[in-house]
Structure 1
Amino acid sequence: MSFFNKILSSVGIGAAKVDARLASDRIALMDEVKGIIHVQGGNVEQQIDEIYLSLQTSYLKETDDKKYYQNATITKIKINEPFVIMANEVKEIPFAFQLPSDTPITLGSSKVWLETGLDIKGAVDPSDKDRIEVLPPAIVQTVFAALRDLGFNLRKAENEAAPYHLRKRLPFIQEFEFYPTAGPFRGKLDELEVVISNISPQGVELLLEIDRRARGLGGFLSEALEMDESLVKVMIPNADQQAIRRTLEDVIQRYS
């Protein structure tokens, strides 16, 4: 192969290409992401130093009163040891990894995608992006159903930069914003904000921000001073929907 073709490959023209082919693009939180990485050789022989999978999302951040979206890496996985792919050669490499428990659920504006890349020495690294729909696990589905039973509707789901006291492994939290349209909390609460703090085989830990509706002059003063909100941590064990509903109702009632 000519020196000219090698030069073209080094800037990405006629170079190797990568494509992640997922077994399914709908995956429940903590289930396995499975698929095959399809590598198509280019016009010249090339050494592939690394194939990586990078699970990505974005979150809303505010700096100097300006809001913007920042990308964040949830996890990055190395797939292979270095190898050489010949001109026009095809390689297929299977992969599987568990979706981390702090991956955002793809509701509202929360998006998740898988980026596949080839690390090619001395060349432009080709990459491929695939959107993934992350489904809530059974316990979270049951919690959301219990909130619906209590008259709450989901208004917004968004990834936001985590305040210092809530920051864990990732620089953001996913916040679910509910508002009461019926049931015992209509007229008592402005909204209920829910953050999934931890998921385990025993259940799910939630952070609830309970925003009380202002009542009378004292209520309006409290609201103006942002004293009308309570941040509550609650552990929801694996149970049926009615038991979870009672637990949530008791906690919300106590702080509303």
Structure 2
Amino acid sequence: MSIFNKVFASIGIGSAQVDTRLESDTVVPGEEVRGIVHVKGGRTEQKVDEIYLSLHTTYIKESDDKKYTATATIDRFRLNDPFTIQPSETKEIPFSFILPIDVPVSIGRTKIWVATGLDIKNAVDPSDKDSLKVLPNSLMDSIFSAAEDLGFRLRNADCEQAPHGLRRNYPFVQEFEFVPISGSFRGKLDELEMVFFPVSENEVEIFMQVDRKARGLGGFLAEAFEMDESNVVLTVTRNDVPNLSQKLHAAISRYC
């Protein structure tokens, strides 16, 4: 094989190519993601040490009073043992993995994607990127519906750097920001923020921040010193779904 082909392959020209094809790009946390990785050989024989899939999202990070976007790896999966791909040869590697139950959902500006990489020694590693649309599971969907029943509208959703007290598996949390547009909390609250920490598919811990509306001089002073915010931790299971609106109302009402 021409030495020039080997040199070109080492810098990514004429080297192996990778293409991942997902069976479905719409998934729910806890579900199985399936697909096939297609590998096509380049101009020269190459040894592939590893094929890996990694799950990613972005989040807002703050440093020196400046905000910027960072990328976080949610999980990583190794697919194969080392193999050699011949020039123009095609290989198909099927895969499946379980989407973590605490993966962010595709709401607001939150993006989730699967990156595929080939680890080829002494060469530029080929890669591929495929977007996933992650939908809320039925329990989370019920919580959103309960908030809507109470007159709240989802205003914003984003992944942000997690304070140390809220940091779990990742350096970020996905925050959902609601505003009361009707119902008993309109005029009493400025906003309601929620962060979900799934325990299982049937149970979730909700961290809520209730931001009371400033009323009078005392209210404005409290708002100035951020004393108008109360933190609430609420555990919700599937058994709560029939009375979820009432449970949510009771938890928020204690701080209004």
TM-score tier after normalising by the smaller chain length: over 0.9
What is residue 73 of structure 1 aligned with on the other side?
Answer: 73
What secondary structure is seen at the aligned counterpart in 2 of 1:192? strand
Give aligned pairs, total. Answer: 256
What is residue 198 of structure 1 aligned with on the other side?
Answer: 198
Compute the TM-score of the two structures, normalised by the length of structure 2.
Answer: 0.98
Deviations 1:95-117 (A, max 9, x none): 00011122110100111011000
Residue 150 of structure 1 pairs with residue 143 of structure 2 = no
What is residue 137 of structure 1 aligned with on the other side?
Answer: 137
What is residue 7 of structure 1 aligned with on the other side?
Answer: 7
Compute the TM-score of the two structures, normalised by the length of structure 1.
Answer: 0.98
CA RMSD of aligned residues (A): 1.0
CA distance in 1: counterparts of 2:32 and 2:177, whole angstroms: 28
What is residue 115 of structure 1 aligned with on the other side?
Answer: 115
Amino acid in structure 2 at the alignment position of 1:209: Q
Report if aligned partners of 2:206, 2:236 keep a CA contact under 8 Å in 1: yes
Report if aligned partners of 2:54, 2:76 keep a CA contact under 8 Å in 1: yes
CA distance in 2: counterparts of 1:225 and 1:167, whole angstroms: 24
What is residue 176 of structure 2 aligned with on the other side?
Answer: 176
What is residue 88 of structure 1 aligned with on the other side?
Answer: 88
Amino acid in structure 1 at the alignment position of 2:176: F
Deviations 1:164-214 (A, max 9, x none): 111111100000000000011000100000000224144211001000001
Report if aligned partners of 2:139, 2:202 keep a CA contact under 8 Å in 1: no
What is residue 56 of structure 1 aligned with on the other side?
Answer: 56
> Which shows bigger deviation, 239-248 or 48-57?
239-248
Report if aligned partners of 2:74, 2:103 keep a CA contact under 8 Å in 1: yes
Deviation at 1:242, TM superposition (A): 4.2
What secondary structure is seen at the aligned counterpart in 1 of 2:246? helix
CA distance in 2: counterparts of 1:55 and 1:79, whole angstroms: 14
CA distance in 1: counterparts of 2:6 and 2:200, whole angstroms: 51
Runs of 4+ in 1 over 4 A off after TM superposition: none
Amino acid in structure 2 at the alignment position of 1:115: A
| Matching of residues 31-42 of structure 1 within 5 Å | 31-42=31-42
Unpaired runs of at least 5, structure 2: none
Report if aligned partners of 1:61, 1:70 keep a CA contact under 8 Å in 2: yes
CA distance in 1: counterparts of 2:19 and 2:5, whole angstroms: 22
